[in-house]
């Protein structure tokens, strides 16, 4: 199986077959190496995913090995800022999620929810709990603006318990695992990054201490779901509005951050970058996903502008020089990642992997951020 792709004006045949081999993540058997990435849609009025949400995921299920849902709020009152983003608590929302898992499984797919707490990015007074305070490591956003008092130990314990309850509910609702959102400047990531974590207690300071809350969440989730249920942790260097932010300046610091998560029982790591092919650190060609694989040995999901011409939120930046998947295949064959996540490419073209596998590239609908029909 080969496909033609263009790189710098020259055509080259690329064998995409390796990305269509099965993969086992613990007891979870995936039919190929493609993952649907989480993408916020706000199509769940009242926080309840309906039949249209189930159909949206089921439409993509036959084409990917795994689906990660859009971010869904845990039951901590400070977790969210919209009454149209799905929540992961309450009988009505959990019934909706059971409908989603049933639809995806009927289509032959596997699915995990992404469990989410916004932290300091939440606007005070926002739904679904407008009276809840904004929770953050140090009472400040990345830009230095004050959002409240630093979270107390008791408040952090409540957050940990919220993630654990959501994970158990996911298991009971028929999901195939869970993903914890520790990326992009949200609560768990706010603790990982020194730019938003100025605490002087055991949750701040060293890289290992900054990872402590994430590790506590992983450990509590693991205790709630048992030893075999897959638990992914998504992390990133970049944040919304701070693309040059870094939680780790060196591979050694990255290892200090990831080791507590590994020891707490995480199954795999979802490494969110804006351009998957770029080196993670200076003086090495390894990508951030490659370094993650090297220092942990765990299953790694890579992501970052696969199948689209522009980096995420990169409207004012130069487009990628090529849509070729040749670099992706090269990195995969070097062992830098095990799975690859697709975001916007799957919004516009639900069958993207299948059309690549079958060489039907001319039929692939390109991503257009202004085309609302991509959301169905």
Listed in sequence order, the residues at least 6 apart from 50 whose beta carbon sits closer than 8 Å to its beta carbon are: 44, 96, 99
Closest CA to 276 of 323, 233, 232: 323
Judge whether 367 counts as a catalytic residue.
no
Phi-psi region of 47 (alpha: psi -120 to 50; beta: other; left: phi over 0): left
Is residue 208 within 8 Å of residue 257, measured between CB atoms? yes
- The Cα 156–Cα 135 span in angstroms is 9
Strand 10-15 to strand 2-7: parallel, antiparallel, or no bridges (unpaired)? antiparallel
Catalytic residue among 56, 73, 89, 186: 186
List for the chain the helix, strand, coil content (%; round to 5): 35, 20, 45
For helices 51-60 and 91-106, the axis angle rounded to 10 degrees is 30
- The Cα 102–Cα 18 span in angstroms is 29
Is residue 110 within 8 Å of residue 104, measured between CB atoms? yes
Is residue 188 within 8 Å of residue 213, measured between CB atoms? yes
The CA angle 230-288-315, to the nearest 5 degrees, is: 105
Q: Among all residues, which ones are annotated catalytic? A: 186
């Amino acid at each position: 199986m080969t496909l033609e792709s263009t790189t710098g004006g020259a055509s080259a045949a690329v064998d995409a077959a390796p990305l269509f081999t099965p993969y086992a993540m613990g007891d979870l058997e995936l039919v190929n190496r493609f993952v649907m990435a989480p993408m916020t849609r706000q199509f769940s009025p009242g926080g309840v995913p309906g039949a249209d949400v189930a159909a949206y995921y089921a439409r993509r299920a036959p084409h990917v090995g795994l689906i990660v849902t859009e971010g869904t709020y845990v039951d901590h009152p400070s977790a969210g800022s919209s009454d149209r983003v799905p929540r992961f608590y309450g009988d009505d929302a959990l019934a909706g999620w059971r409908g989603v898992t049933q639809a995806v499984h009927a289509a032959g797919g596997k699915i995990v929810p992404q469990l989410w707490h916004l932290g300091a990015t939440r606007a005070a007074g926002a739904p679904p709990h407008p009276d809840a305070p904004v929770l953050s490591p140090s009472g400040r956003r990345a830009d230095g603006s004050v959002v409240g008092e630093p979270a107390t130990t008791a408040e952090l314990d409540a957050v940990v318990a919220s993630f654990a309850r959501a994970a158990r509910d996911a298991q009971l609702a028929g999901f195939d695992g869970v993903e914890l959102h520790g990326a992009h400047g949200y609560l768990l990531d706010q603790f990982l990054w020194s730019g938003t974590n100025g605490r002087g207690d055991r949750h701040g300071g060293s890289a290992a201490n900054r990872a402590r809350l994430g590790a506590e969440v992983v450990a509590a989730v693991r205790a709630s779901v048992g030893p075999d249920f897959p638990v992914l942790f998504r992390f990133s260097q970049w944040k919304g509005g701070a693309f040059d932010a870094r939680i780790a300046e060196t591979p050694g610091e990255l290892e200090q951050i990831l080791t507590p998560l590994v020891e707490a029982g995480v199954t795999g790591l979802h490494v969110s970058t804006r351009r998957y092919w770029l080196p993670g650190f200076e003086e090495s060609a390894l990508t951030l996903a490659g370094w993650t694989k090297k220092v942990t040995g765990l299953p790694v999901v890579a992501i970052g502008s696969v199948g689209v011409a522009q980096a995420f939120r990169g409207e004012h930046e130069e487009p990628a020089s090529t849509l070729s998947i040749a670099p992706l295949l090269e990195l995969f064959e070097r062992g830098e990642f095990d799975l690859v996540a697709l975001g916007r490419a799957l919004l516009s073209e639900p069958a993207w992997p299948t059309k690549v596998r079958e060489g039907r590239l001319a039929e692939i609908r390109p991503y257009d951020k202004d085309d609302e029909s991509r959301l169905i």
